[in-house]
Amino acid sequence: MPRLSLWSPEKRNDYKYLDSVISEQYTVGGLDIYIHKYLGPKVSGDYSSESSNYDVTRPVYSETDPLFIEDLFTLENRDRDYDESIYRLRGVYNVQDIDFNLSQFGLFIQNDTIFVTFHYNDMIDTVGRKLMSGDVIEVPNLKDFHPLDSNIPIGMPKFYVIQDASFASEGFSKTWMPHIWRVKAVPMVGAQEYKDILDGYTNEKGNETGDLTDYLTTYNKNKDINDAILAQAEVEVPLAGYDVSKFYVAPYGSDGEPEDGTGISADNSLLTADLGAVRADRSLVSPTSDGYLVGYLTGNTMPPNGLPVTPGVSFPINARSGDYCLRLDYHPNRLFRYDGARWVKVEDNVRTEMSYLNNDNTTQRSSFVNNNATVATTDRGNIPSKQSLSDLLRPEADN
């Protein structure tokens, strides 16, 4: 009589019997979970060996395979291809309440990770392979049919991305054979990797719902917040540099002493109210400069003390000593002061908009970002100073 043993290297009838019972338990007690099968990196011709964009860290694949790696430099699969067919598989998971994790420093809500188990052989028969990292599962019983935003026209599906998968410890039967596959999944975010799913989502009834990125992610809301912050920043800090137009600048004479153009001071005992030498329409001496040009980017189009200025593309003909003229045909615009014999430069309008995309921006950041100069080398020719990161990090032979 042969020795009794539940273990056998072959899957005998007892294994098949237990496996069918376990499968029936999942059919009866499990719920339908929709599988978005990861096929591998997208096939792209932009990085073929004949293309100018060829990169040795971006292998050229003629087919999709989940074992391929798109970017060998960063070890990322950013452009993922998902099967257009959605697979339905029975799964079991424990529903969690919102709870705080007090075992670490601070408070952490731990309800974003779920562990789902599937019948192994049913998974192989339905999907064609084991569920792996990168696959996306949709849990229909967590769909939100009553979102707070009344403008959302659909029930919000709940997507999870599988991060890890292995045989479940509770899935080993008396025959020491595994029957259950266990996956660890976290909520899916609106990232580039899942563009296939978000852009063309189709529910179980086959009704096209459009782009889910607007509903499942906070991208548009974050973009609105960022635009509002930029708009308020432009109101509070409209121009680069420092605003010195609010400061009063006292004019100085040739002797270096302040003067007002009248030649009369408070200690003049000969000054009386009926003195005809002082007229009410007598103008004051205008300052020769703002007086505060030592700061960073202080030049603007306004004369000191708010005095009047004549803008134009030529100097006025009947100018008097102390008049200001803003030449609009200069780049940047230049402010001049007439000293009676010549037009003397006062300052250039270097206070421009803060955006570095503005070609008129004269800030150091703008000159660095918009640097169109080239650096001449003896071995590699002229190298442009402005390069994108994709070109800068691309490995090239230097021999």
Is pLDDT at 322 greater than 80 in this prediction?
yes
Q: Give the 3-state secondary structure of residue 26.
A: helix
Residue 40: how many CB atoms within 10 A of its CB?
19
Distance (Å, rounded) from C-alpha 389 to C-alpha 60?
21
Is pLDDT at 78 greater than 80 in this prediction?
yes
243 by Cβ neighbours in 10 Å (0-12 / 13-18 / 19+) ranks as middle
**How would residue 377 be classed by pLDDT, with cut points 50, 70 and 90?**
confident
**How would residue 205 be classed by pLDDT, with cut points 50, 70 and 90?**
very low
More confident residue, 222 or 53: 222
Is pLDDT at 53 greater than 70 in this prediction?
no
**Per the structure block, which two tokens stand in for 250?**
């006292």
Is pLDDT at 256 greater than 90 in this prediction?
no
**How would residue 348 be classed by pLDDT, with cut points 50, 70 and 90?**
confident
Which of these, 244, 253, 246, lies nearest to 321 by C-alpha position? 253
- The average pLDDT across 250-267 equals 62
DSSP 62-78: SS--TT--SBTTTTB--
Encode pLDDT of 281-297 as tens digits. 445 678 877 766 566 77
Distance (Å, rounded) from C-alpha 235 to C-alpha 233?
5
Distances 158 to 91, 97, 202, 294, 310 between C-alpha atoms, Å: 15, 16, 13, 59, 65
More confident residue, 22 or 389: 22
The per-residue pLDDT for 258 is 65
Is pLDDT at 14 greater than 80 in this prediction?
yes
Top-ranked range on mean pLDDT: pick from 91-100, 185-194, 286-295, 385-394: 185-194
Distance in angstroms between the alpha carbons of the first and the last residue of the chain:
76
> What is the layout of strands, in order, in the sheet containing 343-348?
310-312, 324-327, 334-338, 343-348
The per-residue pLDDT for 335 is 92
**Per the structure block, which two tokens stand in for 348?**
């250039």
> Between 120-127 and 13-29, two packed helices, what is the crossing angle to 10 degrees?
80
Output the average pLDDT for the chain.
Answer: 80
**How would residue 203 be classed by pLDDT, with cut points 50, 70 and 90?**
very low
**What residue segments make up the domains of the chain, in order of their start?**
13-42+79-229, 237-264+277-399
State the sign of the Cα–Cα–Cα–Cα dihedral 17, 18, 21, 23: negative
Encode pLDDT of 82-130 as tens digits. 998 999 999 999 887 766 666 666 555 556 889 999 999 999 999 999 9
DSSP state of 170: G
Top-ranked range on mean pLDDT: pick from 45-59, 90-104, 136-150, 180-194: 180-194
Number of H helices, E strands in the chain: 7, 14
The per-residue pLDDT for 217 is 72
Task: Give backbone dihedrals phi and psi of 94, rounded to 5 degrees, phi first.
Answer: -90, 120
Q: Give the 3-state secondary structure of residue 163.
A: strand
Choose the weakest-confidence range: 186-195, 210-219, 337-346.
Answer: 210-219
Is pLDDT at 65 greater than 50 in this prediction?
yes
**Per the structure block, which two tokens stand in for 132?**
């792996």
Distance (Å, rounded) from C-alpha 42 to C-alpha 26?
34
**How would residue 324 be classed by pLDDT, with cut points 50, 70 and 90?**
very high
Is pLDDT at 236 greater than 50 in this prediction?
yes
The per-residue pLDDT for 293 is 56
Distance (Å, rounded) from C-alpha 167 to C-alpha 154?
36
Do β-strands 310-312 and 324-327 pair in parallel, antiparallel, or remain unpaired?
parallel
Distance (Å, rounded) from C-alpha 63 to C-alpha 84?
16
The per-residue pLDDT for 48 is 45
**How would residue 6 be classed by pLDDT, with cut points 50, 70 and 90?**
confident
Bridge partners, 230 (sequence order): none
CB within 8 A of 225, min separation 6: which ones?
Answer: none
Encode pLDDT of 214-230 as tens digits. 677 777 788 889 999 98
